[in-house]
Amino acid sequence: MTSTGTLSRAQGTALCVGAVLGTGVISMPALAAGVAGPASLLAWLALILLSAPLAGTFAALGARYPDGGGVSTYVRLAFGARAAAAVGWCFFFAVPLGAPPAAAFAGGYVADLLGGGRATVLGTFFVIMGIVVTMNWFGLQISGRAQLWLTAALAALLVVTVIAALPHARLANLTPFAPYGWAGIGTAAAVLVWGFAGWEAVSSLSGEYRDPRRDVTRATGAAVLIVGVLYLAVAATSVLVLGPAIGDSPAPLADLLAVGVGGPVRVVTAVVAVLLTIGAVNAYLAGASRLGAALARDGALPAGPVGTPRRSLLVVTAGSLVSAALPISFHTAMLLVTGCFTLVYVLGTAAALKLLPPGWARRGAGLAFVSTLGLLVLNGTPALLSLVVAAAAVAYASRRTSPKTSSPSSSSAGSIAPKPNTNPVESLP
């Protein structure tokens, strides 16, 4: 198969790692331990193991159907335009809900440094949103290379943190192992979907590889290994070193570095957290502004409110501000967002079962479908939002008497808003 792409296997691995290893890791260990205790490590392990068939499924689809539309393309090919619109809606409407929790991760580190509690967290959110909205309004984008450097900085910080803190690990911190009961593992797994969302970027980037059929699966395999090792190392070190106190920590990486290194580490972690979050929220809002306009162009959303990228940006920004003001916890907001992510994975793996030929890839897709369906159930009541959003998308598309159609290669109606630290290849210098 010929390809006009320029992406090498090493570059593809770095981009895949960047798409998945987002801002969640700076707070995920504390959030998961807060609902499951040391047993949260089982949830981490389960999500890491799930990553292999899930990423492999999208890699197989990307190698077979290299196209920038990613999951929406496969859902469109398998189930039609209405199902593809549901994918687009799930991502578009998840962005306003996801921006406040994403910024809150950085806000926790700033509050840990400066004090002020929730007021500082909200202030950090407003500052980050102001910077990112201004950048997107005037077309100033963080380059793909800058995103890669941010990801590299995070990975280096994680490695240093683990190495420095491990000598202070205590096996006694593993008891009691499941203080919130075994059901807490399922709750932790539902939360951790936030940290593992991004494997769909594998398929979206497939058309950019020099040799998609050969390199997509190999780059994906390397990325799964790197992400899995880093995530599990940080989670295990956090539990073993910080013990029961981890569940109440707004800045677990800063706490680990303080234990292992000492000195002004909280300043370093706060700066890294803010920079990562600016890159993450920029990716969310930039993708959502274009996604909304594309959905409107193809008749999947009304053109009036979101017919242009700037209009979509205003809608997403307003939705983010409303979400931040809602009387719901960041934990609940995260479950609402991960429910939407998970439903997209359910639809994507279901499409793979229809599109992939019999073989190992299809068996992996079956395993991924069952697993993601199980995660949707574990998500609990918040998962109902994703079902409502998908049903609304189908209902809206069904009302149109003459919906616009286009080929998968030219349509981005269902293009997915990038995960934090997703790095579009075309933005690389």
Which residues 6+ apart lie within 8 Å of 266 measured at CB?
A: 109, 112, 113, 251, 254, 257, 258
Which has more confidence, 62 or 83? 83
CATH architecture of 9-427: Up-down Bundle (1.20)
Q: Answer yes or no: is pLDDT of 213 > 90.
A: no
Give the model confidence (pLDDT) of 375-413 as tens digits.
Answer: 999 998 999 999 999 999 999 988 864 444 444 443 433
Q: What angle do CA 244, 246, 248 make, to 5 degrees?
A: 100
The mean predicted confidence, pLDDT, of the chain is 84
The whole-number pLDDT of residue 27 equals 86
Q: Which of 187, 97, 194, 198 is nearest to 379 (CA)?
A: 187
Residue 26 pLDDT > 90: no
Pick 126 or 299 by higher pLDDT.
Answer: 126
- Tell me which of 180-189, 236-245, 284-293, 355-364 is least confident: 284-293
Q: Across residues 130-134, what is the average pLDDT?
A: 92
- Determine whether 121 is exposed, middle or buried from the number of CB atoms within 10 Å of its CB (0-12, 13-18, 19+): buried
Give buried/exposed letters for 164-182 (b at 16+ CB in 10 A, else e). Answer: bbeeebeeebbeeebebee
Q: Which residue has the higher pLDDT, 75 or 407?
A: 75
* pLDDT class of 214 with cuts at 50, 70, 90: confident
DSSP tag of 380: -
Length of the chain: 429
Residues 24/231, Cβ–Cβ less than 8 Å: no
Question: Global pTM?
Answer: 0.82
Residue 22: what pLDDT? 72
For 300-347, write each residue's pLDDT tens digit: 899 899 989 899 999 999 999 999 999 888 888 889 999 999 999 999
Decide if pLDDT at 73 tops 50.
yes
Backbone φ and ψ of 16, nearest 5°:
-65, -40
Would you state the pLDDT for residue 276?
82
Residue 238 is predicted with a pLDDT of: 93
Residues 6+ apart with CB under 8 A from 321: 129
Closest CA to 23 of 288, 266, 253: 253
Q: What is the pLDDT of residue 204?
A: 64
CB atoms within 10 A of CB 246: 25
Query: Per mean pLDDT, which of 14-18, 197-201, 205-209, 317-321 is the most reliable?
Result: 317-321
- pLDDT of 376: 93
Q: How far apart are CA 192 and CA 334, in angstroms?
A: 9
Q: What is the mean pLDDT of residues 272-291?
A: 84
Element (H, E) at 237: helix 212-242
Confidence check: pLDDT of 205 > 90: no
How high is the pLDDT of residue 340? 93
Mean pLDDT of 357-383: 93
| SS3 state at 6 | coil
Of 68-77, 78-87, 395-404, the range with the lowest mean pLDDT is 395-404
pLDDT reading at 98 higher than 70: yes
Q: What is the pLDDT of residue 59?
A: 86
Q: What is the CA radius of gyration of the chain?
A: 20
pLDDT beyond 50 at 19: yes
pLDDT value of position 156: 87
pLDDT of the residue at 212: 74
